[in-house]
Chains A and B, each alone.
Chain A
Amino acid sequence: MPTHPRLRPFVLAIGLVLLAAGCSNGASATTDAAAHPGALAKNCGAGKKFKIGFAQANNAEPYRQRVNADLLKAAKAYPEFDVTIADGQGDSNKQISDVSNFQTQQVDLLMISPFEAQPLTPAVTQVYKKGIPVIELDRQTADDQYTAFVGGDNEAIGKAAGDYVAKTVLPDGGDVAILQGLISTTPAIQRTIGFQDGVKSNPKIKVIAVQPADWLPDKAQTVFDTMLRAFPSIKAVYANNDLMANGAYLALKGQNKVGQVAIIGTDGLPDPAGGAQAVLNGQMTATFVYPTGAEDALKIAKQVLVDCATSVTRNTVVDTTLITKENAKAVIEKAGS
């Protein structure tokens, strides 16, 4: 699951600027070439071929498969880029090897979603210090030795979901439940905090139950089934991911209450088993996309490698998108094309 604890201070500052500008990218700082030897490319320019290595944290997660697919799809727009993906298999040791191998292969640019921040930091720093630009996607390493970071903001996504419930789903108020992800993980914490913050805008809404379901649909089904029996007044449930939202749907179905409780999810993957399809099918009321940022990352790669940029946007926060029945079909079709 996506994590970036270090991003939050930036985001709060940038967020407002972004909203005002109505655009998804914003510059927080530019890169200082002296302090950051790997920040920009030594061998750059148009008409050349470039090797880009992407060290993915774990191909087995549906969200990360979507990142890979988005990245390869977006890369088709850049014929000069040869993008290779290595699978960290959810193991920091494996991912360190992947990073070392990319260094051996002498890639022109490293992209990485570190499985765990601390363990990957030395390997990424080493690459960066050798003068290879590093773009971090979705998750960050533990220091500032990278060229640029691109990712979503969990707290902002939770807040958007909270606002949506407060203003659109339950304008007249009511009882709301939250299904949390695995309790020690950053996205679970930040999305929940954001949501609780978001629903505050409507004083008639009461968060009546918060329970972890560890990101898992079967667990969510059990937990929400119990919640519904304990609090029949629940009018909406917010799940930290779509899998748990699906579990909530199954619980509703079991009690013949489908349609009586609004289900709001998170992730919004456009795959057949993803949240967008569930919204289209009417199983979920809405979901909020946790963006992959693949396109933005490649844009930065082009600036660095092809345009020989002298500075790039250091932190890019990719906005979330609300998926409802109206736009779900369009979202799925766009991803598939």
Chain B
Amino acid sequence: MTTEPTASTHAVVESETAAGPAAQPEGPGAAGRSTGTARWPKLSMLVRFQSVLGLVLVLLGGIAFSPRHNGAILFLTADNLANIVRSVSETGIIAVGMTFVIIAGGIDLSVGAVLGLAGILVARLMVDGGWGTAAAIVAVLLAGLFFGLVQGAVSTTMRIQAFVVTLAGLQLARGLARIVADDKFINISYGHGPGLAPPSFAVLGNRVFGGVLPVSALVFLAVGVLASVLLNTTRFGRHVFAVGGNERAARLSGINVRGIKIATFAICGLTAAMSGILDAGQLNFANPNSGTGYELAAIAAVVIGGTSLFGGEGTVVGTLAGALLLGSLNNILQLNNVNANLQLVVTATIIVAAAALQNVASRRRAP
């Protein structure tokens, strides 16, 4: 979201490979802010993994308050746990992409609309275009990546805040989805021949391992692991933290700030498209209005996960736990027949508590 002085920009673009990592302090969250960490090890650890801790608490609460049937704890049944992961898989995958954007200091409001657009595109390609499953999925993933890339490029090149660019992106993606869909829902029926989608696409709505684990949950967990590795072990990941932590310092140390920012938006667009494909696969149906409000659910998971909206701090593991925390909480409240409106109130409380905890820790760590 920070604007860049033009003079320094293109020098940075060229020097990316040369000086980059050596000049950088190592490790996530380190960019120029790590001085006080040692004095507050407990609090910083708590914040780093606040959502994991929160998730454990919610799970324990779930077990304690779960309705029981013939001695069996309904909350802990394999079906129920799988349902929880499934219910957060789409917003969770988006939240993983969103984590990159937010750590780099940006925000992406377009993801819910991109989800809708991706669902419509994949359905159109297969149902009307006669494309195969793999080709359609790859094409739509690339489209999502491209959409994010353009948003990132517009934001960095024209120096418009990411909030504004992606707000426009939201409208654009929703409009395109409705145009491509011709204002109609697209039913996906399987088979061979015109008007039918290849049966292999139906796999996305299936469950594996004895019909327990939904494929969408599996994809969610896989995306989480991959993203975590990317963010924590690669030079790209370190650069994302550096850009979000202190953009000026990052630029001076030779990091291609613009490139890194664009890449985070591309990753986010990719995850949104992936969710859209899963959405269509799970529902056998594409609706241009799918995913409305998902951007906010994703941001909530990221914030609960301990990622700072100011950038420079955060973990994918935290985001995963944040998403699962929300899902588990809703599940246990619902199993106990707690009023749906109260569920929203509880979620609100948790978001504020998580952000407050994050904030306190950041302030104490600052020199």
Q: Which residues of A contact B (CB under 8 A)?
A: 59, 84-87, 89-94, 96-98, 100-101, 103-106, 116, 118-119, 121-122, 183-184
Contacts and interface: CB of A to CB of B under 8 A. Distances in A.
Contacts of A106: 69, 74
B74 A184 contact: no
Contact of A93 (B90, B284, B341): B90
B285 interface: yes
A116 B334 CA distance: 21
A122 B334 contact: no
Contact of B74 (A104, A116, A118, A183): A104
Contacts of A94: 87
A116 B289 CA distance: 12
Given A104-B79, A104-B83, A116-B185, A93 B335 contact: no
A100 B287 contact: no
Contact of A86 (B86, B184, B340): B340
Contact of B340 (A59, A93, A96, A183): A59
A87 B187 CA distance: 24
Contacts, number: 70
B282 A104 contact: no
Contacts of B184: 184
Interface in B72-110: 74, 77, 79-80, 83, 86-87, 90
Contact of B334 (A93, A96, A101, A121): A101
A100 B282 contact: no
B205 interface: yes
B134 interface: no
A101 B335 contact: yes
Contacts of A96: 87, 282
A87 B340 contact: yes
B331 interface: yes
B283 interface: yes
B282 A105 contact: no
B67 interface: yes
A184 B183 contact: yes
A34 to B, nearest CB: 24
B279 A93 contact: yes
A116 B287 contact: yes
Given A93-B279, A118-B283, A105 B87 contact: no
A97 B185 contact: no
A97 B83 contact: yes
Nearest to A93: B90
A122 B285 contact: no
Nearest to B75: A104
Nearest to A121: B284
B335 A116 contact: no
Contacts of B185: 116, 118
A125 to B, nearest CB: 12
B35 interface: no
A14 B64 CA distance: 51
Interface in B234-282: 279, 282
Contacts of B349: none
Given A86-B340, A122-B205, A184-B183, A100 B283 contact: no
Contact of A118 (B79, B83, B284): B284
A132 to B, nearest CB: 14
A101 B86 CA distance: 12
A48 B74 CA distance: 22
A90 B293 CA distance: 11
Contacts of B69: 106
B6 interface: no
A91 B69 CA distance: 29
Nearest to B70: A106
B17 to A, nearest CB: 43
Contacts of B341: 59, 87
B126 to A, nearest CB: 15
Contacts of B334: 86, 98, 101
B331 A101 contact: yes
A100 B83 contact: yes
Nearest to B80: A104
Nearest to A83: B337
B285 A116 contact: yes
Contacts of B337: 84
Given A93-B90, A119-B284, A105 B205 contact: no
B86 A97 contact: yes
A52 to B, nearest CB: 11
Interface in B283-337: 283-285, 287, 292-293, 330-331, 334-335, 337
Nearest to B181: A184
Nearest to A82: B337
Contacts of B279: 93
B282 A93 contact: yes
19 contacts: A84-B337, A86-B334, A89-B340, A91-B293, A93-B283, A96-B87, A96-B282, A97-B87, A97-B330, A98-B334, A101-B80, A104-B74, A104-B80, A106-B69, A118-B185, A118-B283, A118-B284, A122-B284, A183-B183
Given A119-B282, A119-B284, 11 more contacts: A84-B337, A86-B340, A92-B285, A96-B282, A100-B79, A101-B83, A104-B80, A104-B335, A106-B69, A116-B283, A122-B284
A87 B330 CA distance: 12
Contacts of B335: 101, 104-105
Interface string B176-214: 000000011101000000000000000001000000000
Residue among A84, A93, A103 with most chain B CB within 10 A? A93
B83 A92 contact: no
Contacts of B67: 105
B187 to A, nearest CB: 5
Contacts of B330: 97
B335 to A, nearest CB: 6
Given A59-B340, A101-B331, A119 B283 contact: yes
A104 B332 CA distance: 11
Nearest to B205: A122
A60 B241 CA distance: 40
A118 B187 contact: yes
